[in-house]
Structure 1
Amino acid sequence: MSIEDLYDDAARERIVAEPPKRVDAPVRLAFERDRARVVHAAASRRLAAKTQVVGPQTDDFVRNRLTHSLEVAQVARDLARALGTHPDLTETAALAHDMGHPPFGHNGERVLAELSAECGGFEGNAQTLRLLTRLESKTFDADGRSVGLNLTRATLDACTKYPWSRDAATGPHGVHADGTPRVVVKFGVYDDDRPVFDWLRSGVEGRRRCLEAQVMDLADDVAYSVHDVEDGIVAGRLDLTRLDRDALWETVRSWYLPGLDDDALDAALADLRSVASWPEAPYDGSRRSLAAIKNLTSDLIGRFCGSVQEATLAASDGASPVRHRADLVVPSRTEAEIGVLKGIAAHYVMQADDRVSLMQRQRELVSELVEGMWVRGVDALDPVFVDDWQHADDDAARRRVVIDQVASLTDASAIARHHSLVE
């Protein structure tokens, strides 16, 4: 049985049925078509100018949201193939996973969540679903409503990292990079997008994520735990040969692993240091030093994915490794190692004084931009959002249009738009 045979007609169904392509066109399967649509989406291109950890204009080596998404996609595809789930489907979910991020990343997300509290809130993953099923322009239904990229049910389900609404979300925990408590709850659908969410989750009960979404989520964790550390090293912000253990563990626990004591964290760091390519000398900018970091990132990704692959296959009961028939198994030891790496980046890069100051100004800019557009109304909107504003039934719906507009901006275009509207 081929991998395609494991996915039934319901998994390949689209919101709007599409006729077969003309006979002289290249033959592409349903999930291959979905992948192409995400690759060519305008929201994907904008990721190239959106913050990952260090801003896109800071250095030509560090990652932006697009390069991060490409790396997540590679990790997800390789792990999916090893597990026997669909590589194209899983890769598409990885390519799309950050499409909903606003300018300035989680920092911008925080502001938009506060300013949209009365119209349904804001969350990057819920915004991704909105983009894929409404805001991106490709297909319209019989009533003239946009259905976005018209992706298959299985692909949309794989893109749903948090399959629940804001009302069903648990409270936020941990702190932001400036030490203030997190305020954004994690959820995957706004109330006015609930019909398409219910359609894509047809036949699924509860909050269980499909296997492909679980692989995408792990690939995201693996990629940014490793690559954010790499970016921090090259930017001169951290040195893996000189770590302040006590301060580091405080950050790791407050951000990622609140239940682990010093002994468990010491053990995780010792395991990481046992990797043969872990550096013994500080990074010096040479080609050999850069190659050493690349070897480390490769070894760590292989270590984490290999551990998960082994544990997942060992726990398999013979069920097909697709959609809701199987679950990913992440060993606690691997989870701790990933958490320690994320904590290193958080402590030495995200909490740096210069970055905290910059983040404060970014939040002020996004807030002023939203309020400026709200006051100006339709005159401040891009043409693609004008129709949404004109068809909005009330202030809450119009507020959502402004939020959609601001969320679509890149870091640079947000600054430029702010200058034209506010200054």
Structure 2
Amino acid sequence: MNGYTDDDRQRRAPEPAKRRDRTAFERDRARVLHSAALRRLAAKTQVADPWADDFLRTRLTHSLECAQVGRELGKSLGCDPDLVETACLAHDIGHPPFGHNGEAALDVVAEGCGGFEGNAQSLRILTRLEPKSFTADGRSVGLNLTRATLDGVMKYPWRRSEAKGRAYGIYDDDLPVAEWVREGAPAGRTCFEAQVMDWADDVAYSVHDLEDALVAGHVDFGRLADPAERRLVAETAAKLYCPDAELAELEERFVDLLAEPYWPTGYDGTPRSLAALKNLTSTLIGRFCMAAEDATRQAYGDRPLTRHTADLVLPRRQRLECSLLKGVTAHYVWISHEANRARQRELIMELADMLIAGAPGSLDPAFSAAHQAAADDAGRLRAVVDQIASLTDTSATARYRRLRARR
């Protein structure tokens, strides 16, 4: 594999040679694809409740689409395509019920054990909680993925104490495995494959969440013709996604983007409007990916770009456009549906209280065992948090109702 070494392909627990002629990164992809944690994303929120509409994306379909975008972009820049696809498939595997909303609630619950962060939970699942391989002394190494693949998943390779208000990707008690993954890596710098994954994630959800919001009736493109409406969206985008941009610059970019000829004039659910919407999504994805590929090639030439040899170059124009699309969904879906989001957070908090009160008996066997083996209250709390994070929107709601009925 061009650009990758034996150290990149190393696994935490040595494995015997396999007969079938597959690369180490192909094996990684298969392990994530067949994991229970990935399957559970089918019932976790992306934009709307997973059961709200057959058309709308779940966290799983988003991950599959992110993987397609990332695989092609990574391949065009010289990355191993299976490695990048695996990083994209796994990038949201640590998300709890109700998406980022549940993540915020669990962070409050987990304050006594170091907090909760979906990216850090992804590393924990891949290296500990999803059981496949064990060390000689009986410790779980999760899916036992290669060093390079795990590094490709680590969008934020630092701990909470080092984050300085940013997101983070390593819990303190997962530091040993993170240090093994990051052996030889520049401190605080994500690898090239993780940067490709991160942009593929931004591209996929900025475009597809917009599509879902339109189909669900949350967004009307006609409203965006009003400068006042565009300003509100630009304010949301600036606050959440690009605080370095002036509002006037965002508004200018918004006007230019909406002037492109591929924007549909309306949506009524007919085949022609569905086709126009699909043309919009594919054109925007191509626009964002080609801009990154061209800028990166201009900076580094035609050589294969892997691991820590380069950084993905994102033109400011496309970065701001992507932020504006995310701002549309945030403004019309998240902010306007805050009452329902508040109820979801309350459910997570109350479910945590009931599970803590009934632990270890209230936990599934794997988490019950971790609770009983924990050396202190922080470890016992982490077992409860791991349990809640493993649940889907539907199973979290069902368990909450079941436990509440027993009170």
- Would the TM-score normalized by the shorter structure come out above 0.5? yes
Which of 141, 153, 161 is matched with 1:167 structurally?
161
1:275 aligns with 2:286: no
Distance in 2 between the 1:222 and 1:163 partners? 21
Q: Deviations over 1:101-138 (max 9, x none)?
A: 00001111101111111211110000000000000010
TM-score, structure 2 as length reference: 0.96
Distance in 2 between the 1:189 and 1:255 partners? 23
Aligned length: 401
Distance in 2 between the 1:292 and 1:229 partners? 14
Q: Cα distance, 1:324 vs. partner?
A: 0.4
Q: Is contact 2:156–2:168 with CA below 8 Å preserved after alignment?
A: yes
Q: Cα distance, 1:383 vs. partner?
A: 1.2
Name the counterpart of 1:332: 316
Name the counterpart of 1:379: 361
* Aligned 1:4-153 pairs, distance under 5 A: 4-22=1-19, 26-153=20-147
Equivalent AA in structure 1 for residue 172 of structure 2: D
Name the counterpart of 1:409: 391
Name the counterpart of 2:191: 210
Q: Is contact 2:235–2:247 with CA below 8 Å preserved after alignment?
A: no
* Aligned 1:189-338 pairs, distance under 5 A: 189-243=170-224, 244-279=229-264, 281-316=265-300, 320-338=304-322
TM-score, structure 1 as length reference: 0.93
Q: Deviations over 1:223-275 (max 9, x none)?
A: 11101110011011111232112322221222222232343123212332243
Equivalent AA in structure 2 for residue 300 of structure 1: L
Distance in 1 between the 2:174 and 2:244 partners? 36
Distance in 2 between the 1:41 and 1:276 partners? 42
Equivalent AA in structure 1 for residue 149 of structure 2: T
Equivalent AA in structure 2 for residue 46 of structure 1: R
Equivalent AA in structure 2 for residue 362 of structure 1: Q
RMSD of equivalent CA atoms: 1.2
Distance in 1 between the 2:163 and 2:243 partners? 19
Which of 328, 342, 351 is matched with 1:344 structurally?
328
1:154 aligns with 2:148: yes
SS of residue paired to 2:254: helix
Distance in 2 between the 1:391 and 1:134 partners? 15
4+ runs deviating over 6 angstroms = none
Distance in 2 between the 1:229 and 1:29 partners? 37
Q: Is contact 2:96–2:102 with CA below 8 Å preserved after alignment?
A: yes
SS of residue paired to 1:323: coil
Distance in 2 between the 1:248 and 1:6 partners? 42
Q: Cα distance, 1:319 vs. partner?
A: 5.8
Q: Is contact 1:368–1:422 with CA below 8 Å preserved after alignment?
A: no
Structure 2 runs not aligned, ≥5 long? none
Distance in 2 between the 1:320 and 1:307 partners? 18
Name the counterpart of 1:182: none
SS of residue paired to 1:379: coil
Distance in 2 between the 1:314 and 1:351 partners? 39
Q: Deviations over 1:155-190 (max 9, x none)?
A: 00001010000100121xxxxxxxxxxxxx511111
Q: Is contact 2:231–2:251 with CA below 8 Å preserved after alignment?
A: no
1:365 aligns with 2:365: no
Q: Cα distance, 1:100 vs. partner?
A: 0.2
Distance in 1 between the 2:133 and 2:231 partners? 54
Equivalent AA in structure 1 for residue 18 of structure 2: K
